[in-house]
Chain A
């Protein structure tokens, strides 16, 4: 694919799920280091924002590729009939965790019983439900409330348990000097949901598979380069976003590396799709009636492009 390009680069756009930050370092690095250009893609990176829905934008053709939410988002989209296909997964372990203060007396997920637990109602609530189910609690056992995007209410102790992402909110808490906290990882309870899916539309896969391949390969190369040259990667991200804070981005990149190289990310290479985890998530969503009926996972998740990426480009 790479050879066919260079001369007449194809215009494509990549929609991120949020504004420029180290969470997307691989994409920015791939662009800055010319990996996309080498692969024949003239890529534009479009940042996201609140209520920007990557799934919709990519399915509708407004953007060619996207870094979409994750396993749950893929399943919902397919159920709603969006012609969207996941061709890779960035984060290999659940990037969410539940935090509580040491002083709260909550020692394990079982202790959530009767407590106020805040969670983002963007799909993460089902992860929570699964975790609780795995620990023998039902949804009704805890008082589950919608968490705002701000961590402030948690800091003000308006509720006992809050949800964080390992690469962002957790750092925010630490930066504010809050260290007396305890973390509960879903993976420890046997719940894994992969996030930050690389997605494209069915139409692209049918009509321009070589571009999809180029995108997946160059993106994974970008990630690999980013993790191997972290300082340079942070520089690139800093240049892409206005007014970012370097320290925060460095922490984020570290954390992102941890979740991207966990599990399959370490053994198989960056971007692997864990089909077992996907089908577990689907089962639990069906159980919680978040999904009315199971979707065709074969059509929704396509590992063939990832498989064709040379191991040298995806293995650290």
Chain B
């Protein structure tokens, strides 16, 4: 039913949606004369971004690099673990409770540990992003890998396919949509994890801008940084959606 890639109408809808949000925001803040320290106006924020573009751009690249790396590693770990659990089912009883428990602790609680283990630099941020996304991908991938019906599995077995053959030719393709769902959900989370970790200790990045600016009561900078990060992760998300449509072409 859903044919092909992203149409111009999809793009238009995204633009209209975001534009509406900003117009409503601008109008409301002007109408109710909301002071900057409660909610600044989007135009002011935009101007702040332009003014501080060099600092923000450098921080954004830093943050996106950490997010991207953490996202990739976390996704690989999540998928890899899910694959292991499907290949060796008894492991599930061991790994899942542990994964659940780890994930139940807010990632911020691990920041001190991350700082101890991975230092102040990018390493600890990447570790936090990995932590934030791996579980989500794991859960989705696991459910996707278990989706194929018994008939299809039996067919593969009758051709003499081993666990790996079934995994590669049946389970993984069938799990693709679920995995991408996991990635979609996880992307925002890993951005958050990185920013929060940066707030608690980093040399650079959006999180540091947020943290320093908050302490210096500079809300325009806070919002400028956060908005930039938002747009950055929206761009990453767009790439994911494009991949998504390519991956489930057979619907």
Chain A residues with a Cβ under 8 A of chain B: 50-51, 53, 55-56, 59-60, 69, 72-73, 76-77, 80-82, 120-123, 145-150, 152-153, 156, 158, 290
A150 cross-chain contacts in B, Cβ below 8 A: 111-112, 115-116, 200-201
B216 x A290 contact (CB < 8 A): yes
Whether B37 contacts A148 by the Cβ 8 Å rule is no
Q: Is B218 on the interface with A (CB-CB < 8 A)?
A: yes
Q: Is the CB of B200 within 8 A of A153?
A: no
Instruction: Check if B212 is an interface residue, CB within 8 A of chain A.
Output: yes
Number of interface residues of B (CB under 8 A): 25
Interfacial chain A residues near B218, Cβ < 8 Å: 76, 80
Q: Shortest distance in angstroms between A115's beta carbon and chain B's nearest beta carbon?
A: 16
In the complex, are the beta carbons of B217 and A82 less than 8 A apart? Answer: yes
Given contacts A53-B214, A76-B216, A81-B36, 7 further A-B contacts (CB under 8 A): A60-B37, A82-B37, A121-B208, A122-B212, A158-B119, A158-B120, A290-B216
Contact A80 B200 (CB under 8 A): no
Nearest neighbor of A80 in chain B, beta-carbon distance: B217
Known: A76-B216, A122-B216. A153 touches B119 (CB 8 A): yes
Q: Are B214 and A51 in contact (CB under 8 A)?
A: yes
How far is it, in angstroms, between the C-alpha of A152 and the C-alpha of B112 when the chains are bound?
8
Within 8 A of A (CB), among B174-232: 199-203, 208, 210-212, 214-219
A82 proximity list for chain B (CB < 8 A): 35, 37, 217
Which residues from 101 to 133 on chain B have a C-beta closer than 8 Å to any C-beta of chain A?
A: 111-112, 115-116, 119-120
Nearest CB of B to A170, in Å: 18
At the interface, yes or no: B93 with Cβ under 8 Å from chain A?
Answer: no
Residue contact B217 to A148, C-beta cutoff 8 Å: no
Contact, CB under 8 Å: A121 / B215: yes
Contact partner, A76, options B111, B199, B217, Cβ 8 Å: B217
**Best-buried of B210, B211, B214, B215 by chain A (most CB within 10 Å):** B215
CA separation between A153 and B215, bound complex, in Å? 22
Contact across chains for A59 and B37 when beta carbons are under 8 A apart: yes
Q: How far is the CA of A69 from the CA of B217 in the complex (A)?
A: 11
Residues of B within 8 A of A59 (CB): 37
* Residues of chain B having any CB pair with chain A under 8 Å: 35-38, 111-112, 115-116, 119-120, 199-203, 208, 210-212, 214-219
Question: In the complex, which residues of chain B have a beta carbon less than 8 angstroms from the beta carbon of A145?
Answer: 120, 203
* Nearest CB in chain B: distance from A86 CB, A: 14
A70, chain B: closest CB distance, angstroms: 11
Are B215 and A148 in contact, with the CB atoms below 8 A? no
Is the CB–CB distance between B37 and A56 below 8 Å? yes
CA distance A121 to B218 in the complex (A): 13
* CB pair B203 A146 closer than 8 Å: yes
Which of the listed residues A147, A150, A156 has the most CB atoms from chain B within 10 Å of its own CB? A150
Docked CA distance A121–B203 (Å):
10
From residue A276, how far is it (CB to closest CB) to chain B in Å?
Answer: 23
- Complex formed: what's the CA distance from A153 to B202 in Å? 11
Smallest CB-CB separation from B119: which chain A residue? A158
Contact A153–B120 (Cβ < 8 Å): yes
Query: Do A121 and B217 touch across chains, with their CB atoms under 8 A apart?
Result: no
Least distance between A76 CB and chain B CB atoms (Å): 4
Instruction: Decide: A152 near B116, CB < 8 A? Known: A81-B36, A82-B37.
Output: yes
**How far is B210's CA from A147's CA once the two chains are assembled, in angstroms?**
14
Q: Indicate whether A148 sits within 8 Å of B116 (C-beta atoms), given known contacts A73-B217, A76-B218.
A: no
A121 touches B116 (CB 8 A): no
Closest 3 CB pairs of A and B: A148-B201, A122-B215, A121-B212
What residues on A are CB-neighbors of B115 within 8 Å? 148, 150, 152-153
Taking a contact as CB atoms under 8 Å apart, the answer to whether A51 and B37 are in contact is no
Query: Which residues from B are CB-within-8-Å of A156?
Result: 116, 119
A56 and B218 CA atoms in complex are apart in Å by 11
Which residues from chain B contact A72 at a C-beta distance below 8 Å?
A: 216
A-B contact list, 14 entries, CB within 8 Å: A50-B199, A51-B199, A51-B211, A72-B216, A76-B218, A80-B37, A80-B219, A121-B215, A146-B212, A148-B115, A150-B112, A152-B115, A153-B201, A158-B120
The distance from the CB of A201 to the nearest CB of chain B, in whole angstroms, is 12
Q: How far is the CA of A80 from the CA of B35 in the complex (A)?
A: 10
Closest to B208 in A: A146
CB distance from A250 to the nearest CB of B (A): 24
**Shortest beta-carbon distance, A159 to chain B, in Å?**
8
Assess the B200–A81 pair: CB atoms within 8 A.
no
Chain A residues in 8 Å Cβ range of B212: 121-122, 146
Determine the chain B residues whose CB is within 8 A of the CB of A120 once the complex forms. Answer: 215
- Residues from chain B with Cβ under 8 Å of A51 in the complex: 199, 210-211, 214
